[in-house]
Structures are given as structure tokens and as C-alpha cells.
Chains A and B, each alone.
Chain A
Amino acid sequence: MGYHAIRKVAWSNIRKRKSASVTLMALILLSIMLLYIGLSVMIKLGSFQEQKMEELQVPDLVSYYSQNDDSATYRGIVKEYPATAKWEAESAMLVGETRMKYGNAEVLAGLLLLKDSTPRTLSPHLKAPGQPEAAGDELVYLPYMFELSGGYKVGDAFTFAAKGHTFSFIVGGFYEEALLGSFTNSAVKLFVSDSAFAKLEEGLGEEARYELLSISLNDAKNTMGKISQQLAEKLTSSKTSGSYVVMEAATAIEGNQFLIKLLAAILVVFSLLIVGIALFVMRFQIQVQLEDSMVNIGVLKANGYTSGQIKGAILLQFGLIGLAAALPGLVLSGILMPYVGNMISASLGLLWPTAFDSLSALLSLVTILGLLLLVVVQSSRRIRSITPITALQSGLQTHNFKRNPVPLAASRLPLQLALGLKALVRQIKQNVMLFLIVAGLMFSSVFCLILNYNMTRDNTGIINLVGIERSSLMIAPQKGFVTPEMLAELSQVDGVQKLTQLDGMSATIGERVVLLQVSNDYSKLETQTVYKGRHPLYDNEVSLSGIVAKQIGKSIGDEVTIVVNGVSQNYLITGFSQQITQLGMVASMTSEGFHHLMPDYAPKTVNVYLKEGKDPAAVIQELEQRHPGEWTSRNMEEWLEGILGTFTSAITAITWTITAVTLFVVSLILYLVIKTLVVRRKKEFGVLKGMGYRSLQIMTQISLSLLPVILLGVVVGGVLGSLFSDDLFVLLLGSLGIYNVDYTVDVSQVLLLAVSLVAISYAVTMLVSRRVRKISVTSLISE
């Protein structure tokens, strides 16, 4: 008796347990799909950045600033820097804030427009082979994001308004842009034809003339900090410059990838949860199979099969089921991956490679099948200790007779409930499994619901994390600084509630370049980023982001030296803050405090907060009429919506996927449990029918033996999800310096999910337990 005999037994087991096998296959298929997608995203993300940097010839550092007398100084810094490998400077036009059609809505974004014909080797306009491009005058080339989620096609009109003019160009094509290709950055880079550029120069005037510096460095990892610091400090100290940007490629890409990484991590964790559930289910199935086929095992053993051969048959049975599910699962994930890739591409502005990832596939396959076989081996161990005689006498004790749960004589509960509870206690092992599954799935669903809610409905928590100030408008003078007169005028504008100041500078702490925030009053800010201690109040104080403090080993109450443009000063640390901007490398001080580093500092921006119901766009229009071309205004509400909107579709998709999978898996498990239960308790149900119980009463008993467990799982999972999702976020975002998260939990959404899960479970329970209707008393006799 060799392999053929084992195969025969394995096949007969699969055939006999068709629906259980199919249920397990569905779970394995689902888990391998989720695991493959999550793993391939996580694995590829690391090399993706390097690959794209090389492929698109992305410079290590870019900076753009208003063209003026200092431009030569900035170019000089780059030219003189010993590690500079290659650098290019070119003219650009900057449109501070403009509204454009994007998908079914409008977004507000800045545009950095470059002449397509300008020769450049760093981040050139690479025309992808096979991609259509339009011909003609006044063309604009947009980042791929506009095609993937913005709804634009080659030949469409691309229209925006600035400085009282409406500019309309024809979309000539799309290209990949690593740094300035999404709304999360200060401006989106576009290439335009010569005639379009001329039209822009004419319409936008002197103030819009910018220069873009692209720098490629030798040993960028070690040489980046210094030049970035020099450039940023020079731009910060410049009196004539308007808004400017210094962007390190690695930091920017890392920042862009943060959410995708978070979502991939969620997907991997969730897929492992599903794998865990599949293993639980398999263990349950093996136990049921062993108990049900005890006599068969006895017969096999009596006929000379060894324990190893019987275990081998079970191993083969589940191995075949695993393979039969895992292989189509991988094929299906390969089919699904382009859709996931599109979502990632839309978030990153870069084309995600959709080619099948063999490494992830192999890893997923080995993980799933390995765990599966491990559980089979572990669960089938007891076959060895069963003698043929014990097996033939159905020797395994399946019930625990130590006590009689819910004794009817003493119970005051309704009869169906009492009988249901009896069954609940009796099937305690199975119910513990069910409880853990429901609680785990509910937890992950609530986690995603909270993330989705905070991203799409009440984004205070997310904005606090990102660290952007929640004002209605941000206004900056095109030239010079914010003056007391400007502040006085703004405070008199109809509908203005308050004004605050918050500038972002560049500074050095130790060897680290940080974003140094400067404000005259942190208590007036809406976005509070300090999670421990307090923001600085006096000129000798500073608050640091937790990650900076950790890196330099300082605590609250310690002193820290901050350097700006060669000037250094010691400050007392008053608190720790957190924000994702600049990958969490942030310090904050008062305006008075910053005067020690830059005595002639004057604020460059002012945040305007409007009263409820006042339209920021109307105020911008009013200010533009009063001071045409003098002030740049950003509608912060719309701008924030645009930034968050980039991520919303991916998060919503993940939330729906996880919620749907949760409902599906719970239904699947209930189907399996009830089907097994009806088969195993057939005699009991037959006797109950003989006693006069109606099918509906027995179905209710089955429901009542499972629903309390589901209810408990839903409550525990829901409560834990609501209480500890913040901690899980901290765990996932810890590398970005996020140590404290306080997301809003929308109780009504959690309740709705809980009620839906229980209602669906009840419906499934009643539906599947309809099988008891077929059980007749006479079947007791015929058996």
C-alpha cells in the first residue's frame, strides 16, 4: 500500500466533504490574494524609488524660486558645491493657486510650468513609447496622475485661471514625474509648448517668473544635507524672494509613499489575519473529520494502514485543497494587480509596474502552504495514539459531561434561548474559534473605518498628523514681508475671525536639517502638533518633533543648539511635537526666538480664519481686487481637500475591501460551522422534531447558540478597534516619528457596521440552518 492508496483515501475525503473543502479553498484563495498584493507592494516599494530615480533621471535636489538678483547666488552655491555632479537651471512660470477640473470635481493646486523645448537632462520630458501624444500649438503635458484619476485624455482641453486670465491648452500627452507630479507637493510640474509658454509669460507677468534648479549629487546620501541646508538658509534669509521650495528627492518620494506603505502594511496584516482564520478553520475541519471518520480510521488501521499513511492521506487532502486554491488565487491577484497598481500610480504620480511579481508569489505560496501543512501535521498527531479497536468503537470522547450547562429545571430563560445556550456552552471550542475570528475581523474593519472617516469626513486627526495649519486662507505678499498694515487691513476684511502667523524655515540641529516653524502665538493655531509638554512661549524656548529629540537624545527641559545661516543659538526644549511634513524632522519656536538667529526676520505668510459660512474664494477675489498682483492667496480648505483627495480613493477602496471580506468570511465560516453542526446533530434534531419541535424553533436554537458568540466578538472587536486603533497607527507610523495619534471615532459608523455584521450573521444562520427542515424523525429509523 503506497502512494496510490493514500491518494485514494485523500480523494475520497475531499469528495465526501465537498462543501467544507470549497469553503476552505475560498479562504485560502482570499488570503493568498491579499498576501500577494500586500507583499508585492511592500517589496516593490523599496526598489521602486531607486528604479524610478534612475529611469526618470530624477535630480537629488530641486529648488524653485522667484527670478531676481539673488538667482545667481543660488546658482553659485550649487556650482561651487564640491559634490555637485550635474546641475541645470531653467526658466519657469509659477501659478500659485489655481482651480482646475480633476475627475468629477475641481482641485486647487499650484502649477510650475516649464518650456517643453528647453534642453534638459535631469527629469527630462520622457515620451513613453506607444503612448499617444497630440500634435499642434499650445500644448500642455501633464503628469500621469491627471490621466489615471483626473479623467484627462490626450486632446482634451486643460483650463485654469490666474491673474484674471483664463488659460486653455490642449493636452498633448502624459509623463511620469517623481517629485512634482502630485498634489501633495507645493506645485505640479507641467511642460508646455513654446507658444503656450509665451502666452503664459504675457498673461502672468513678472511675478510669475521663476527659476527651477535641478541638482544631481555624488554620494547624495551623505552630501545632500549640507547643500540643501545652504540653499534653504540662503533662500530663507533672502529679502527679495517670494515663495520658494527646496526639495530633497529622497525625502519627497518617501513622503509621497507614506500612505501607500501604510495601506500595504494594513493589507499584509489583514491578509495574515485571514491566513490565521483559514488555519483555524482547517484545524476545526481536521478535528471534525477525525471525529466523524473514527470508524473509517479503525477500518484502515485494521487493514494494515499505518498512522503515517493515514496522516499522509490527510496531508495530501489538505495539500491538494491548498494548491487548488493558491494557484488560481495567484492568477486572480495577477489579474487584480493592475487595478491596485492604478490606485498606487494615482497616489504617487508614477507608473507602478504591473508585471507579475514572482518573488511575492513564491513567498505567499510558501507562507500559506507551509502554515497549512504545519497545522495539518499538528492537528492530525493524535491519529498515532488511536488503536484500531478504539477507533472502531468511535473511541474519541467528543462531549464534555462534567456538568450540565443551563439546567432547564433551574432556568427562567425562554425555552429556545435556554436550549440555544446549552448548545453554545457545549460547542465551546468551536465558539472560541468563531469569537476570535469575528473579533479579529471586526477590529480590522473598525480600524479601516476610522482611517477612512478621518480621511474623508472629519480630517482633523489626519491634518494634525500631517501638520498643516487648518486656516481658511494663507496669504503671502509677492514681494517683501507681512507688514503691520497688511495685518490691520486683513483683520478688517468682512468675515475674518482671526489671523495667525506660521512660517516654515530651514535650520540645522546637530547634523540634521529640520523644518523650523516660526509663529508669534502657537496657542492661536488650529492644528496643534505638540503631544507632550507645550509649544514655546518665550524667546529662549523651542519644541522639537519626537523623532528629532530621539535622534539627538534630548528630553523636555534640555538645551539644544539651533543653527540658521551660520548663526547658532541655544534654546530650552519645552515639548515634543509630531507631523509627517519633512518626514517628521521639525522644530518650532516663537518669532522673538527666531530673531536671535535672524535679527531682521519678518513673517512671510499670514493665516486667515474666516467665520462660519464665509466663502474663502470670495475673500480671495476681494483681496485680489484691492491689491492686484501684490498678494498670493491660497484657499487652504480646498488645497487640503485636494491633497487628502489623492489618498481618499485608495483608503476608501481598502476600507470597502476589508469590510466586504469581513462580511464574506464571517458568512463563510457560519456556513461551514452550521453545516457541520446540522450533520453532526442530525439525530438530536430528529429527536427534537419527534418531540414536537418545529423546524423554525430548531433553527432559532441554532441561531441562539451562535449569535451570542458573534455578538460578543463584534462588541469586543468593535470596542478594541475603537480604543486601540490609535495605538496600531502609532505602531505603523512610528518610523515617521508619529508617537501619538488621536483619531475621531464615529460611533454611529462603528455601530452601523456592528449591527450589519450581526444582522447578516443572523440571516446567514437562519438561511443555512434551513437544512434542518429536511431532517425527519423517520430518518432516525432508517439510519
Chain B
Amino acid sequence: MDGEKMSGTLQDIERPTLLQTKKLGKTFSHGGIQQHVLKNLDLTLYQGDFTVIMGSSGSGKSTLLYALSGMDKPTLGEVHFQDIELTRMNNDQLAVFRRGHCGFVFQQIHMLDTMSVLDNVLASAYLVQKNRSQAAKKAMDMLARVGLDTGTQRRFPSQISGGEAQRAAIVRALINNPLALFADEPTGALNSASSESVLNLLSEVNEQGQSIVMVTHDVKTALRGNRILYLRDGIVIDELRLPAWNGQSNPERLDRLQDFLTRLGW
């Protein structure tokens, strides 16, 4: 581990823990052949961080993301979300946990294409929030803040652009004030302009204190994070600490990230 890691550790002392894994393992079996995707992973994530998980294809990034968020059950080990142990929960308990603690943004956006944009958000909001009129007002306000006006809110996901749909998906993920927002390649299916607006939105909410855990293989996207974890063969082999995103990319930040990745054979 290098100095970046050490300084990271000092920061960690000041931040409360969001997530912790102990000896986390995930194995897939296909036709009798076992594939160990995550291997005895001990990891701690902190509140308020914009954590980015990077790694080559098949390194276990998405598997780790879904194990951390209670979307999927690990084969071995434990996942503690603050003081809640996810690994002891059944599927329904995990569902109830997710609705109150997590928000998700997917690469393929995965809006419900049979509901309007607003209803997509409300289908999530009404699960948790009892006061419906307040929830509806909040959803409309949030959608408006990300640039989706009332007309767009009434449209179906297939009738708006990918960038608009992904911003709506982020609103949907944030509507219940989750402790953590999980994003799996959120800009993977978007053009550069749309990607920029989506990343700006994520940075903005992080700045407001929202914890984010994001998987990406795109360097420009990864720059938004303040903690970069690098995964290889199911193990976090290194991490990089960066200052919080200040709204603009600068060459020094990019260099540090590229050095980090080059060193790891990216």
C-alpha cells in the first residue's frame, strides 16, 4: 500500500462507516465448473464518500456492487450495512432493507417502460413515504431540478432521451433519501453530453452528503469519485484517495488517477 492509502486511513477515522464486508466471497457454478468471483474480501466503505469501483472485465465489480447493496447474496462472508447484517436476511427482508436504505442506477437505465416518468419515481416513493401529496411534490420538484419539466414527467421513458431517462432514474433512486446510492456504469449507455449531465448530478448530490458507490471502467467517470478501489480477480488490490470533486476536472487529478491505473496494469 502506498501513501495515498495511508492518508486515506487518516480520513477514514473521521468518517462513520457505511458498509463493511468480512471475508466476502461469491462463487458461481456453471455446468459443474466453479468460478470464484469474489475472494475473502475485507472492505470498509464510509459515509459521504463517492466510492468508485474499477477493474477489468470479469474482475467482479458488479458482483461486489450487488453484494454490498443486498441485491444479491454472497456465497461466503458477511456484509454489514452500518449495524445491519445483510447476509442473515432472506429475500423479502432484503427487499424491505433496500427500499429504505439504498438507491440504484443501472447502466441500461431500467425505467419501467409502461409507466410515465413521474410514476416511475412515485412507484418507489410511495413504498416508503406515507404522505403521498408531499412525496408527489418532492418527486416533481426533484425531477424539475434535474431538468425534467412537467411535460417530460408525464411522458413514457421510451419517449425521452437516454440522458433524461438516466436523470429520472437517479431521481427515482434518491427519492427515499437512501443512505447509499449504488450506480452500475450509469453513463455506459449514454452519449458524452448526457454522460456529463448525469455525472454532474451525481457529484452534486454527493456534495450534499449523499454516499455513492459506483462501478465504472471509464476514467472520466471515475474522476468524480474521492475513493477509487481497484479490483482484480475478486480482490481489492489497491485504492486511491482523491480530494472531493470541486466541480471541474483538472490535469493533476486526471494524472493521479491515470498513474494509479497504469501502475495496476489498466
Contact = CB atoms under 8 A, between A and B. Distances in A.
Interface stretch (B48-56, B100-108, B245-253, B255-263): B100-108
Interface stretch (A183-191, A275-283, A364-372, A689-697): A689-697
Given A689-B95, A691-B172, A692-B99, A780 B127 contact: no
A687 B139 CA distance: 18
Given A404-B119, A776-B71, A778-B66, A690 B110 contact: yes
Contacts of B104: 690-691, 777
B236 to A, nearest CB: 20
Interface in B122-181: 122-124, 126-128, 132, 136, 139-140, 154, 156, 158-159, 172
A613 B71 CA distance: 73
Given A399-B113, A415-B127, A409 B95 contact: no
A687 B110 contact: yes
A778 B116 contact: no
Contacts of A407: 116, 118-119
Contact of B114 (A426, A693, A778, A781): A426
Contacts of A773: 91
B239 interface: no
Interface in A666-707: 683-684, 686-696
A362 to B, nearest CB: 47
Interface in A622-663: none
Interface in A727-783: 773, 776-778, 780-781
B127 A422 contact: no
B39 interface: no
B98 interface: yes
Nearest to B116: A404
Contacts of A408: 115, 118-119, 122-123, 126, 136
A691 B127 contact: yes
Contacts of A401: 156, 158-159
Contacts of A691: 98-99, 104, 123-124, 127, 172
A695 B96 CA distance: 11
A209 B141 CA distance: 103
B248 to A, nearest CB: 32
A419 interface: yes
Contacts of B97: 692
A687 B96 CA distance: 14
A779 to B, nearest CB: 10
Contacts of B140: 409
Max count, chain B CB within 10 A of own CB: residue among A426, A688, A691, A781: A691
Contacts of B98: 690-692
Given A688-B123, A692-B99, A780 B106 contact: yes
Interface in A178-206: none
B124 A409 contact: no
B17 to A, nearest CB: 22
B71 A690 contact: yes
A694 B72 contact: no
Contact of A404 (B106, B124, B154, B158): B154
A692 B106 contact: no
B189 interface: no
A777 B118 contact: no
B72 A693 contact: no
B92 interface: yes
Interface centre among A408, A423, A692 (most CB of B within 10 A): A692
Given A689-B95, A781-B62, A776 B126 contact: no
Nearest to B93: A694
Nearest to B104: A690
Contact of B100 (A426, A690, A692, A780): A692
B184 interface: yes
Given A404-B156, A777-B66, A780-B106, A692 B124 contact: yes
Contacts of B72: 776-778
Contacts of A688: 112, 123
Nearest to A773: B91
Contacts of B158: 401
Nearest to B121: A408
B127 A692 contact: yes
Contacts of A776: 71-72
A683 B115 CA distance: 13
Interface string A390-406: 00000000010100100
A59 to B, nearest CB: 74
A771 to B, nearest CB: 14
B96 A692 contact: yes
A693 B127 contact: yes
Nearest to A779: B72
B127 A696 contact: no
A407 B72 CA distance: 31
Nearest to B159: A401
A778 B140 CA distance: 29
Interface string B204-221: 000000000000000000
Nearest to B175: A691
Nearest to A778: B72
A321 B111 CA distance: 38
Contacts of B139: 409
A407 B106 CA distance: 24
Nearest to B117: A404
Interface centre among B127, B136, B172 (most CB of A within 10 A): B127
Interface in B53-82: 62, 66, 71-72
Nearest to B100: A692
A780 B116 contact: no
B123 A781 contact: no
Nearest to A685: B112
A692 B100 CA distance: 8
Q: Which of A408, A683, A694 has the most B CB atoms < 10 Å from its CB? A: A408
A683 B119 contact: no
A407 to B, nearest CB: 6
Which of A426, A684, A696 gathers most chain B CB within 10 Å?
Answer: A684
A408 B135 CA distance: 11
A743 B71 CA distance: 60
A404 B95 contact: no
B67 to A, nearest CB: 9
Nearest to B132: A412
Contacts of A404: 115-116, 119, 154, 156
Contacts of A777: 66, 71-72, 104
A252 to B, nearest CB: 65
Contacts of B112: 684, 687-688
Nearest to A774: B91
A694 B123 contact: no
Nearest to B153: A409
A408 B121 CA distance: 10
Contacts of B154: 404
A409 B119 contact: yes
Contacts of B126: 408, 415
A776 B90 CA distance: 13
B119 A695 contact: no
Contacts of A426: 114
A408 B119 CA distance: 6
The 6 lowest CB-CB distance pairs between A and B, nearest first, are A692-B99, A408-B122, A404-B116, A692-B98, A694-B95, A409-B136
22 contacts: A399-B156, A401-B156, A408-B119, A409-B122, A409-B139, A412-B132, A422-B115, A422-B119, A690-B98, A691-B98, A692-B95, A692-B124, A694-B91, A694-B92, A694-B95, A696-B92, A773-B91, A778-B71, A778-B72, A781-B62, A781-B106, A781-B184
Interface of B: 62, 66, 71-72, 91-92, 95-100, 102, 104, 106, 108, 110-116, 118-119, 122-124, 126-128, 132, 136, 139-140, 154, 156, 158-159, 172, 184
Interface of A: 399, 401, 404, 407-409, 412, 415, 419, 422-423, 426, 683-684, 686-696, 773, 776-778, 780-781
Given A399-B156, A407-B118, A409-B119, 9 more contacts: A399-B113, A404-B154, A408-B119, A409-B139, A409-B140, A687-B111, A691-B98, A692-B127, A694-B92
